[in-house]
Structure 1
Amino acid sequence: MSSSSAHLWGPVRRAENGPVRLAVDQLCEGAAGEPLLLVTGLGVNRLWVPDGLCRMLAAQGFAVARYDQRDGGESTHLPPTATGNPLSALFTKRGEAYTAEDMADDAVAVMDALGWRSAHLLGVSLGGAVAQRVAIRHPDRVRTLTSMAAVPGDTSGLRVMRYIRMRTLAAFARLRFPDTPDGAVSAGIAVARLLASPNRAFDERAAREAAERNADSGVHDRQAQSRQIGAQWHGPPISAITRPTLVLHGEDDPLIKPGAGRAIASRISDARLVLLPEVGHELPESAWGSIVTEIRGLADTARHLPPRPTS
């Protein structure tokens, strides 16, 4: 994954949700298009979404914005909690810092800061689960929902195990790097290797260049990841989602089984599932065209649907 080029993005703004301040910026290209908000994955900052993918989305008529989730990047980091291990936070002690509802409300706060009444959502990994919850909790703010490489947003605790490849999760949990810029680069390369499709040659040089451009300490911040992954959802099931939905999942995802994508699509009315060949838990350039085409098609379909009844 690549870092951002500063000239492509507008100035960083701050959205506020209570005491939490969220860093957000918008792609300069395509700013007059249909609003599309990117929701990032566990621990990582917003720069992990490749610029090339964002520019392709802009070329297809989208105004692209992205933000750092709480406990990620330049957004507010919460105080340490008793659970400092993502595995423990996922399966045992949960919800000590904030809720999944808080994280869903963060996305709406970002839309407010951008002046967007509604937006298309593209959430990847943990961001996919967050985007699903936004569609449940704030349906009038969501034009379409694209969930990629995610588990069902209403799944928690031991039920998550059916969707996770435990060997990869254990390997991820064993990664240890010093809290230095060099450590962040090494962690970025190791995570990229771990999450790449095993059916494509791993480009270590490209991974190193990307990690050096974006030395994101969030990839090995176990405390922050524990707080994010431990946020519990208390709302309705994902079957309550009524917004037009696309589910993308890499056929070779080494972390979250494609069965998770199938489960999401089967539980949301009229959702479309697309499995991406030779794609792992990642956003490789080889898949950008397919991703953009599917999101554009979803938006075009949604444009012709009757308006939602207001309560």
Structure 2
Amino acid sequence: MSSSSVGQWGPVRWAENGAVRLAFDQWSERADGEPLLLATGLGANRKWFPDGLCRALAAQGFAVARYDQRDGGDSTHLPPTTTRSPISALFKKRGDAYTAEDMADDAVAVMDALGWSSAHLMGVSLGGAVAQRVALRHPGRVRTLTTMAAVPGDAAGLRAMRYVRLRTLAKFAGLKFPDTPEGNLAAGVAVIRLLASPKRPFDEAAAREAVARNLDSGVQDQQAQSRQIGAQWHGRKIGAITRPTLVLHGEDDPLIKPRAAKAVASRVPGSRLVLLPEVGHEIPEPTWERVATEIRALADTAHHLPAGAVN
């Protein structure tokens, strides 16, 4: 996870899915390019996507937009539920607040507000699972699917546990800092440290600078995270995904085991798996060009599909 800096972003705009309002914005460069929607992870706001990555994607010909999941960032936060810990939410048989279908529909609502009849999707962590579900529930709206650092979108409860490093999740859930700007700064740095690859030196000064530009209280909001992680999927299995698919995963991911990516790639027909060396549960600067190039190559494969195969 890498925090975004203030960059070439347009004004915050809003999409609606029923009573839920979803905040999104669009990168100003290449706004006339191929639509690419970015879906962020558990508890994180949209600004965690690095500007450098978005700039690299724009250079590859994409019109880039990002949005806050419900219960994250500037989007609607739902009322408290009985589940108050992301770990306990994994064990529940149903979510108290909303379904995973609702979260998939949120992405489509954002596309509608952008005026996009279809888009390439890139989801990271929880956003990767959401993007997989969008491809299942709304295949005509998805040009290509890139899922990164994510579990299979049809895994839940104990089936999802096999892919999660519980020790790291427990540390993440155990972060306790004051709900103040200083506390959110310390929490953000702690999250970056926790999710970074252990094979690269940790640059605390750079982490503090990045978090200072994006004081996201969502990294400490366990109730909101519980509602997100507890949202249950009732749809088809990921083997039914028909969109061209790229599966990215850090080889050193301390939160989601690489076996999760291998499971997704083995089950989604025709998908391509790319394991990124010295990468944790994050998108560090050395990977930006590689990731953008891989997504460009995936989009190019979609251009060569038979007429009508991608809407």
- Which TM-score band applies after superposition, normalised by the shorter structure? over 0.9
- Is the aligned partner of 1:163 residue 2:180? no
Deviation at 1:92, TM superposition (A): 2.5
Residue 239 of structure 1 is matched in structure 2 by 239
Deviation at 1:93, TM superposition (A): 5.5
For 2:52 and 2:83, how far apart are their aligned partners in 1?
37
Residue 2 of structure 1 is matched in structure 2 by 3
For 1:76 and 1:177, how far apart are their aligned partners in 2?
23
Q: Is the 8 A contact 1:149 1:281 kept in 2?
A: yes
Q: Is the 8 A contact 2:196 2:282 kept in 1?
A: yes
- Return 220-229 or 301-310, whichever deviates more: 301-310
For 2:221 and 2:98, how far apart are their aligned partners in 1?
17
1:236 alignment partner, SS class = coil
Deviation at 1:297, TM superposition (A): 0.3
1:52 alignment partner, SS class = helix
The AA in structure 1 aligned to 2:3 is S
Residue 31 of structure 2 is matched in structure 1 by 31
Residue 13 of structure 2 is matched in structure 1 by 13
Aligned positions of 1:282-293 closer than 5 A: 282-293=282-293
2:226 alignment partner, SS class = helix
Aligned positions of 1:120-269 closer than 5 A: 120-269=120-269
For 2:50 and 2:167, how far apart are their aligned partners in 1?
27
Cα-to-partner distance string for 1:199-230 (whole Å, 9 max, x where unaligned): 00011011100111100000010010000000
Unaligned runs of 5+ in 1: none
The AA in structure 2 aligned to 1:304 is H
Residue 105 of structure 1 is matched in structure 2 by 105
| 1:208–1:309 distance in 2 versus 1, CA, 3 Å | closer
Cα-to-partner distance string for 1:129-168 (whole Å, 9 max, x where unaligned): 0000000000000000000000000000011111111111
1:123 alignment partner, SS class = strand
- The structure 1 segments of at least 4 consecutive aligned residues displaced by more than 6 Å after TM superposition are none
Q: TM-score, normalised by structure 1?
A: 0.98
The AA in structure 1 aligned to 2:166 is M
For 2:180 and 2:44, how far apart are their aligned partners in 1?
16
For 1:309 and 1:205, how far apart are their aligned partners in 2?
47
Cα-to-partner distance string for 1:220-276 (whole Å, 9 max, x where unaligned): 100100000000000000001000000000000000000000000000000000000
For 1:309 and 1:270, how far apart are their aligned partners in 2?
14
- Is the aligned partner of 1:92 residue 2:92? yes
For 2:258 and 2:84, how far apart are their aligned partners in 1?
28
For 1:193 and 1:46, how far apart are their aligned partners in 2?
19
For 1:3 and 1:258, how far apart are their aligned partners in 2?
25
For 1:210 and 1:293, how far apart are their aligned partners in 2?
24
Q: Is the 8 A contact 1:83 1:93 kept in 2?
A: no
Residue 295 of structure 1 is matched in structure 2 by 295
For 1:170 and 1:45, how far apart are their aligned partners in 2?
21
For 2:307 and 2:30, how far apart are their aligned partners in 1?
25
For 2:41 and 2:110, how far apart are their aligned partners in 1?
16
What is the aligned length?
309
Deviation at 1:3, TM superposition (A): 2.6
Q: Is the 8 A contact 1:36 1:65 kept in 2?
A: yes
Q: Is the 8 A contact 1:86 1:225 kept in 2?
A: yes
Q: Is the 8 A contact 2:90 2:161 kept in 1?
A: no
Q: Is the 8 A contact 1:188 1:211 kept in 2?
A: yes
For 2:261 and 2:208, how far apart are their aligned partners in 1?
30
Q: TM-score, normalised by structure 2?
A: 0.98
For 1:24 and 1:232, how far apart are their aligned partners in 2?
24
Q: Is the 8 A contact 2:6 2:213 kept in 1?
A: no
Cα RMSD (Å):
1.0
The AA in structure 1 aligned to 2:115 is G
| 1:306–1:182 distance in 2 versus 1, CA, 3 Å | same
The AA in structure 2 aligned to 1:188 is G
Aligned positions of 1:52-63 closer than 5 A: 52-63=52-63
Unaligned runs of 5+ in 2: none
| 1:86–1:93 distance in 2 versus 1, CA, 3 Å | farther
For 1:19 and 1:106, how far apart are their aligned partners in 2?
11
